Structure 1
Amino acid sequence: MSDIEKLEQLMAIHTESLFRIAYYYTKDLQIAEDIVQDVFIKFYHQKHYEERGEMKAYLARMTINKCKDYLKSWAYRKIKLQQKFLKQKSNFEDSLILQDEHALLDEAILRLPIKSREAIVYYYLEEMTIKEIAELLTIPEGTVKSRLKKGKELLKVDLQHIEWEVLYHG
């Protein structure tokens, strides 16, 4: 049996388990595939291997060492750093979108007639109950409910043209 045939046989037997080991270390399918490929290439080019133990254990040890080398490498740290910055950038962009949407909502509330605006502000922004609003404004609870309903309807019409980004990122 030639060296290439022996290597192909080893690959057929051990690739799946070595890939699993590499993936558990790196958490990246592409990197795990690359590591397993590198392990087989390195094994093929080794001239001094003497089979003293189980081949599976030897290849597994090579894979683990290669994974540890990768996790210590600059390439890995650079990828992790890039992912961290991308996440921070995404969080920043999301907060800007929220600020923008809150500003649009604030402007729309300010355009409401005073009676509807009062009910909306006290109920949604100050988180008061209908009963508390009625007592504060010295009006019946039914009137507070009517003003809330009217205010929500006006806001819905005023803001219908806006695509609320917050609804897509949730």
Structure 2
Amino acid sequence: MNRDDLIEIMDQHTEHLLRIAYCYVMDLHAAEDIVQEVFIKFYRNQHNYEERGEIKAYLAKMTVNRSKDYLRSWNYRKVQLQSKFSLHAERRNLDGLVMRDEQQMIGEAILALPLKQREVLVHFYFNEMTIAEIANTVSIPESTVKTRLTRGRELLRNELSGIVWEVLLNE
């Protein structure tokens, strides 16, 4: 694989991989770093890649694994601790009357779910992956994907149940 091939692969898959990484780490800068590391690792170890399947799934799996590594890292825990202190100070300064768009509310509710449920919901609805593709990407059985989808939907339904939706009022 030459440089031009790598650039073409990056152009095709960067946005998709960024979405995956962001859904895990919930930080755009960290997600960008993760995707960059994935492409570097792919380029350096391209001789290990066997074209048995689709490159998109291979890169997605690498991104998921790197994202999980990041979540286990000391750097992530340190950033989380620092952000908790700064968010607490920011919340006191807000007047509490900030309006949110309904899509933003749904997105925040999804990102608030536990990682196991969040990852399958994001892959299923936003990345439009099948249950088999999700199982392959996350390295879990299909039955586990189905269970996590069901539990994730239930948690999401409970989280969003008390909200009056403007869209429904205007119909």
Normalising by structure 1, what TM-score? Answer: 0.51
Structure 1 letter corresponding to 2:55: M
Q: Which residue of 1 aligns with 2:56?
A: 56
Aligned pair count? 94
Cα distance in 2 between the residues matched to 1:30 and 1:19: 10
After the TM superposition, list the runs of 4 or more consecutive aligned residues in structure 1 that deviate by more than 6 angstroms. Answer: none
Return 79-88 or 48-57, whichever deviates more. 79-88
Q: Which residue of 1 aligns with 2:42?
A: 43
Cα distance in 2 between the residues matched to 1:58 and 1:12: 16
CA deviations over 1:125-161 (Å, ceiling 9, x no partner): xxxxxxxxxxxxxxxxxxxxxxxxxxxxxxxxxxxxx
Structure 2 letter corresponding to 1:61: K
1:4-83 pair list within 5 angstroms: 4-46=3-45, 47-83=47-83
Shift of 1:85: 2.8
SS at match of 1:39: helix
Q: Which residue of 2 aligns with 1:3?
A: 2
1:137-152 pair list within 5 angstroms: none
CA deviations over 1:89-127 (Å, ceiling 9, x no partner): x28xx5xxxxxxxxxxxxxxxxxxxxxxxxxxxxxxxxx
* Structure 1 residues 29 and 169: alpha-carbon distance in aligned structure 2, compared to 1, 3 A threshold: closer
Structure 2 letter corresponding to 1:66: R
CA RMSD of aligned residues (A): 2.0
Structure 2 letter corresponding to 1:12: D
CA deviations over 1:24-67 (Å, ceiling 9, x no partner): 11111111111111100000000221111111000000000000
Cα distance in 1 between the residues matched to 2:72 and 2:12: 29
Q: Which residue of 1 aligns with 2:151?
A: none
SS at match of 1:53: coil
Return 24-33 or 36-45, whichever deviates more. 24-33
Q: Which residue of 2 aligns with 1:86?
A: 86
Instruction: Point out where structure 2 has 5 or more consecutive residues left out of the alignment.
Output: 96-171
Larger gyration radius, structure 1 or structure 2: 1
Cα distance in 2 between the residues matched to 1:10 and 1:39: 12
% same residue = 56
* Structure 1 residues 9 and 80: alpha-carbon distance in aligned structure 2, compared to 1, 3 A threshold: same
Normalising by structure 2, what TM-score? Answer: 0.51
Q: Which residue of 2 aligns with 1:97?
A: none
Shift of 1:84: 2.0
Shift of 1:86: 3.0
